[in-house]
Every structure is written in C-alpha cells, then in structure tokens.
Chain A
C-alpha cells in the first residue's frame, strides 16, 4: 500500500461530491434528498457536498422511473462523471418502476439497464436518514483503494 494511496483514501473518505438526476419521479424522492441538506440532517458534516454538477461528482443519485428522453441522456451524463464513481438508485421507481410500471405507461425502466447501479434504497420515498446512510455506506466500498483494486 503506497503512501499516495493512503493519502487518496483519507481525502476521499471526507469529501464526497453528490449530484442527483431526476429521470421521471413524482418529486417525493427529490425533495427528500433536498431535505438532507437541512441543518437537522446536516449532510455536510459527513463531508458530503450536494453539487448537482455531474462533472465534479463522485456519487450520482438517480431518482425516478426512467422516461424515454433519458434513455440516451442518462448514459451520456454517467460518462461525464469522472472515475471513481458510483450510482445509487433512490426510491422504488428506479428499481422497479413503482406504481408507474403498469400497462399503458411511457416509462422504460429499470435504470439498471442503462447505467451500473451500486446500491438501491427502496421506499416511496425513503427517509432522508436512509438516503444519507446509503451514501455513507457506499462511498468507502467504492472509493477505498480504488487504484489498487482497478489494477
């Protein structure tokens, strides 16, 4: 284990930049992500910073049931995020389509068909604390020793 890798591990453990993308939700999950910003949950004390800028993000939170216009845009957005990166599906919609996955619908889920999903947080919508703990649980497993594991 090199010193450089140790330094990277240390930095990455306290600095997680998050972007979220809404691919056709009802807004419930979005707003629960926003609620994480509130001083009550205080997402920034864990070093998580919600940016909403894919080019700076480490973790992408995907919300929503995958509507047709996102089919080519979501992989393009995923490609813009620099490695190491991970996507977390928030809510039932990206996992199964939730109530929208019925006859006559327009959605083309699940999201996992289009980009690799590292973790799923079910719930309609999940509580802010659940979203927060999912981000905190996924980040170390993906980012720790990333360069070593890759080679």
Chain B
C-alpha cells in the first residue's frame, strides 16, 4: 500500500493551483442576490476522489447524497466529506433561517461584533490569561475580544497593537462560561492588524513571518539536517540572530532529524496494514516530520498494532503558528492543501489523527472559524488527537493491562498543553497510564508552559515566556520523574529549556508499554 506517500505536498498543491481549482465550473460564483465572494468564499480547490467534477450549477439544490453517492455507499462511517450535514459551505440556496453573516461579508473581513453579545463581562477570561498575569501592559482577552470588537465601526476602527502580545494559548476560550468566540476574535483582529497596520518591512514582521512559516525553514534545514542543527545553534550565529532578528539567544533551536518522518514512511513502503474498515489519515504536522520523527513512527506502530490502516496524505502546516502571528493568508494557503487532501482521505473512510494537540486544535476549531473552504466542517468533525481516538475506539486499558507494563520503572512529569486542555484532553495521558505497572506519571498542574508556539521565540517576549513557565518548571522539579511528557512540541521545547529534562510524547510511551 503506497497511497499518499508523496514526500511533499508541493506537487499536488501546485497542480491544483495551476488548474485554477474548479473556478471554471462556477462552483464558487455567487448566485444573483448573493454578495460576491470575500476571502472566506473563495472557490474551493477540492476535487472529489472519483475525479468527477461535481455539477455545481448554483441553481441545483444540493442533494446531500449526490456528489459521491455511490462511492460513499461502500464506505460506511463516512459521509464522503463532500456535503456536510449542515448543507455544506457551498450551498448557494441560502436559507434565511440559517443565515450566517460570517459567510457573506465582503472584502474578507469577518465582522465579529455580534460575538460581543455573549459577553457579560465576568472577566473569567482575563483571570485565566497567562500573559495578563505577567504582563501589566497587556489589557487581556476581554479587551482584545468582545470589548474591542464591540467598539468597532465599519469604516472607523483599527486594531490595538496589544493584540500582538496575545500568545494564542486559547485558555480564554476554555474559561468563558458564555461561549464568546474569544480566540476567533483574537485571530481575526490579529490578522487585520498584521495585514493593515503592521509595517511589512519591519524586523518584527519579517521575524514573525519566518517563525510562522517554520515549515519552510524546517524543510530547507532538513536537506542538510546536521549542518543546520549545528549552524542554527552556533554561538555567534545566535548572537547575530538576536541582534538582527529578535530571536532570543537563550533558546536552543530544535535539532533536525537526519531522516524525516515522511522519508522513513516512504522507505518502509508506506502502510503495513490494509484495512478498509479501520482507516486513519495521519496529520503529523511539521515537527514530527522534521524534528521528532520518533513520535510519528510511534503513532504508526501503535495504530498498526490496533489494526488500523494508516494513510499519510500530503499536507502542509496546520496554521497554528500563522494564526498566532496574524498571517492568515499564509494559513489559508496551507489550509487549502490540508483540507483538500484530508477531505479526500475522509472520503476513503478515514478519520484524521494528529499527534500534536495544536494541529488537532487548528483543524477542529480554527479552520472552520476562520475559513470557508469546501469540506472544512467535515475535516473538523473527523479530526481527533491520537490518544483520544484510541481511548474512544479501542480497549486501551485492557490492552495495556494485557501487555503487563514496563519492566524497568519510569517516572514522568506530565504537562497538559493549553490546546489539549481546550479539547478536553488535559487528563488523558495521566488517565491512560495511571494503572500501568512500571509507569509513574505526575500531572505538573494546569499552568501554561509559557512558550505558546512562537511566542517564546521572540526576544521581547522571552522573559515573559519564562515567567509564565516558572510554575511548570517548579512543579516539574518537584515531580519524581526526570523525564517530561507532553503532546505539544513547543511545550516540549519549553519544558526542556526550563529543566534540562528529556521530553517524550505519550505515543512513545504507549509504543513502549504496548510493545508495539
């Protein structure tokens, strides 16, 4: 089985761009009376898996089973990913009752003023914000979100610069008792700020763009991984980077793997298990590919252990670092490739599995909140975190019990990433391993690690980042284990940076304990 083993998505992406998506067939054209497409209504580049181009004549009322009806029949448990349950984002016959202003705003702006309706000022978001806690200048999520949006007017507003101090940890989403779309408001505001108000030649913009597009740098570096790992952490080079780029010299750049995950996957001949009934599409993300392929390998081995057919579709960055830096255009470009390929995989009966909780967060929440790509709701619905999915579908406890645990006892200091917390996954690792013999896992508390992706990689934010992380470092030191554990690659960097511990992913421990 060698499906989807292209090393990279570039080829696929370019092909589609070149063919102009399905712009020719008119599926993205607004019907009369519908405002013309804004940023969020661009024609999708999606082509269904049979290769047929659906008749997207706007007047045809979409039939929920039409687009790939027959194809879907023999693939139970999927809806083909073509029409979402809600009628899909391309339904041009708009039901006034299901009126969603997000879809119709021209010029690419979401108008989130209405999101301010849900806020009753309780300030739970501000009290849960790790940045506000250490940064007196930061006015907090309530101001950045509902207050700032409510004070806006159509042609008379700009975004306050303080939005760039939000680390996008999204803890405010979790704290809000009233479902204010805080992170969506922040993301959109940050996007507008960067697009319209940020000096495009500024060091800050260039630095942020580079940090946000980590995948591009990583992809280059992995061509010469050893040289890159050395050069990036070479003293004088780091001094220069801080001076010129504002990247703090205290941080160590992660090492690049000598063989990327995708190279390994190709070399091993792709999936070792074929199973049309149990398929998963692995969204490995950039970090597991370029830096920690052992996490990706663990994912494949564990899932194959449970009899899953693993697909590795072409993919780009999930967009998390781009959202955090307001680079929404970049994020959208990557999202197009991801959604297109993941929708296709879902059409093949797969669910989408991510090993990085920020990647899964992005696919589940930020994608549908910010973009209106064809099938994006389906991707969101079908995406799971790796451990979460197994806990839902497999008897993990029984398997672990049967495997008998580890011979040599190991102790871990586990930190739940904020983005895992938002998906309700903050206790999953501890719960999974607490009864496993030979494993001792301590939760180091509910504080934020402080790095928040690229936030801690900015020279001006470095000290704040370490101040936020102080509580976690202290609890890690107090914990018995000398090995850290977390699902998030950047939390792992921060944990390592603050304690010197080696950090593992729960999938690696699962691989060990299952003997997969």
Q: Does chain A bind chain B? A: no
Which B residues are closer than 8 A to A by beta carbons? none
